[in-house]
Amino acid sequence: MKKKNSDIFQQALGEATHKPTENWEKELDKAKQVKTRRLSKKELVRMIEELNDNFDTKTLMRTNRRNLELLKALLANKG
């Protein structure tokens, strides 16, 4: 009888900690799209090098707000 109560507890715990929304399929598709759109830092630097050969890529490899804003602006202007 103790094992049965344990199984019920595990099932209840699972339901309490994982409650999918009604739109779970859309959320999953959106997450997959976001995952595929993210580029690595090296890929971003490569794209910027293609845009302008005068960039100092060593400073671009540092992650700071100014550089990230610069990357965003440059990539937005590319498209």
Spatial distance between the Cα atoms of 5 and 54, rounded to a whole number of angstroms: 68
pLDDT tens, position by position, 18-37: 666 777 788 777 777 766 66
- pLDDT tops 60 at residue 79: no
Q: What is the pTM of this model?
A: 0.29
Average pLDDT, stretch 64-76?
75
pLDDT tens, position by position, 48-61: 777 665 656 666 66
Give the pLDDT of residue 14: 66
Spatial distance between the Cα atoms of 38 and 52, rounded to a whole number of angstroms: 21
Q: Angle 65-78/41-51 helices, nearest 10 degrees?
A: 60
- pLDDT tops 50 at residue 7: yes
